[in-house]
Amino acid sequence: MTTLREQECETLNVTPRANGASTRSDGQVTSIRLRPRVRPGRRLARSSPWRPKTDVLAELSEENGFQGRIRRPPCAGDAARLAPHSRKEADVSATDETLADLMSVVVSGRPDPLVDVGLAGAGAEIHEAMREVREALAAVALAEAPLAPTLTLRRRILESVVSRRREPPRRALLVVDMQNDHLTPGRPLEVPRARDIVSALAQRLDTARRENMPVVYVVDEHESGDSDLDVWGAHNIKGSEGAGVWPPLAPKAGDHIVTKPTYSAFTRSSLADVLGTLKVDTLVLTGCLTELGLLATATDALQRGFAVEVPPETQAGATAQSEQMALGIVGLLAPYGPARRDLLAAVSAARL
């Protein structure tokens, strides 16, 4: 009776190997099987959490006979072509398909931020499996003989290494729109979730001041005749109590205050000049609303070359779902390369 393993090898025209890799007659590796550990007589249900073998890296190492070059990654279609002979084989094949899909994602060359966003809603077992698949493929790559880069590639690598920062990041803590009109219960533009972060934000402010990290308050401010009020209603009117910073988070001596009239803290404000004077290259964004002010400010900051950090415990959106959406977008983006290079050069020069 032909086993499932033999069927697969026959389909791919390869020779089975004991360590889970398959090779053609010329010795080239064509596929790698990462299988979960299943005790004899126990079925692995499709809905059950699973975990790849903990010794998968050892199985793929040279010490266990792994040699050759990957010609193509395994994919879900390979398993789909194979007809399992039992329910147990079907369940194991389903797990193999998941592993094969993860491996295909890794070798596709998609940037890690895109992959992380795509897996944001996956369970913990999928994230663990992705980590092990990446480690397994790294072990395969390290087992290969190194190739000499072309002159162009060598130049790019050297430029990349030279351009990497050697100094620690220079951060500034920005507190965005934590104002009375947003935190007072019953106000038209109240953000109830913002009151939940006050304690954590106060602690972060104390830490920043203690460590001499610059603190910048970004406050929304409108003239009484501002047409923006036609859309959002009266809020944060210049000189009013509602425009003031929430008392438990009040600015202290040495802090900076920047006013803005719209979503982004960079629009029609002095923020760019303040940050230039402070010689910072990384912004720690806190406050509310995550989906509006923080997201707009983060996008502008990234375009200007700043790295952006948004600590989850010190940001507040309208809902948990919209918060996660905004945080996912910020996490997906990277600083604009040329602007980042120029900014780091300016900051480094200021430290000399």
CATH of the domain at 229: 3.40.50.850
Number of domains the chain is built from: 2
Q: Is residue 275 a part of any domain in this protein? A: yes
Query: How does pLDDT run across 272-324, given as a tens digit for each residue?
Result: 999 999 999 999 999 999 999 999 999 999 999 999 999 999 999 999 999 99
53-67, 249-263, 303-317: range with lowest mean pLDDT = 53-67
Q: Is residue 284 a part of any domain in this protein? A: yes
- The pLDDT assigned to 4 comes to 39
- The pLDDT assigned to 99 comes to 80
Q: Is residue 95 a part of any domain in this protein? A: yes
- The pLDDT assigned to 243 comes to 96
In this structure, the answer to whether residues 309 and 192 fall within a common structural domain is yes
In this structure, the answer to whether residues 80 and 222 fall within a common structural domain is no
Query: How does pLDDT run across 17-31, given as a tens digit for each residue?
Result: 434 444 444 444 444
Q: Is residue 162 a part of any domain in this protein? A: no
Q: Is residue 166 a part of any domain in this protein? A: no
Query: How does pLDDT run across 193-217, given as a tens digit for each residue?
Result: 999 999 999 999 999 999 999 999 9
- The pLDDT assigned to 352 comes to 67
User: Which of helix, strand or coil describes residue 259?
Assistant: strand
In this structure, the answer to whether residues 26 and 137 fall within a common structural domain is yes
In this structure, the answer to whether residues 183 and 302 fall within a common structural domain is yes
What residue type is 67 in one-letter code? Q
- The pLDDT assigned to 121 comes to 73
Provide the whole-model pTM.
Answer: 0.66
11-20, 198-207, 231-240, 323-332: range with lowest mean pLDDT = 11-20
Could you tell me the sign of the dihedral formed by the alpha carbons of 245, 249, 252, 257, in that order?
negative
Range of the domain at 339: 171-351
Q: Is the pLDDT of residue 93 over 70?
A: no
In this structure, the answer to whether residues 21 and 63 fall within a common structural domain is yes
The residue among 125, 143, 161 that closes a domain is 143
- The pLDDT assigned to 21 comes to 44
In this structure, the answer to whether residues 111 and 224 fall within a common structural domain is no
Which position has the token pair 């934000």?
A: 201
In this structure, the answer to whether residues 139 and 268 fall within a common structural domain is no
In this structure, the answer to whether residues 42 and 101 fall within a common structural domain is yes
Residue 148 DSSP class: P
Could you tell me the sign of the dihedral formed by the alpha carbons of 299, 304, 305, 310, in that order?
negative
Which of the four pLDDT bands, split at 50, 70 and 90, describes residue 85? very low
In this structure, the answer to whether residues 136 and 175 fall within a common structural domain is no
Quick one: what percent of the chain has pLDDT higher than 90?
47
**Average pLDDT taken over every residue of the chain:** 78
Q: Is residue 25 a part of any domain in this protein? A: yes
Cβ-contact 274, 248 below 8 angstroms: no
What residue type is 101 in one-letter code? D
In this structure, the answer to whether residues 193 and 103 fall within a common structural domain is no
Distance of alpha carbon 325 from alpha carbon 60, whole angstroms: 38
Burial of 330 (0-12, 13-18, 19+ CB in 10 A): buried
The residue among 102, 128, 143 that closes a domain is 143
Q: Which position has the higher pLDDT, 348 or 85?
A: 348
Cβ-contact 298, 218 below 8 angstroms: no
In this structure, the answer to whether residues 199 and 126 fall within a common structural domain is no
Q: Is the pLDDT of residue 49 over 80?
A: no
Which of the four pLDDT bands, split at 50, 70 and 90, describes residue 10? very low
- The pLDDT assigned to 166 comes to 66
Which of the four pLDDT bands, split at 50, 70 and 90, describes residue 156? confident
The 3-class SS string of 216-233 reads EEEEECECCCCCCHHHHC
Which of the four pLDDT bands, split at 50, 70 and 90, describes residue 55? very low
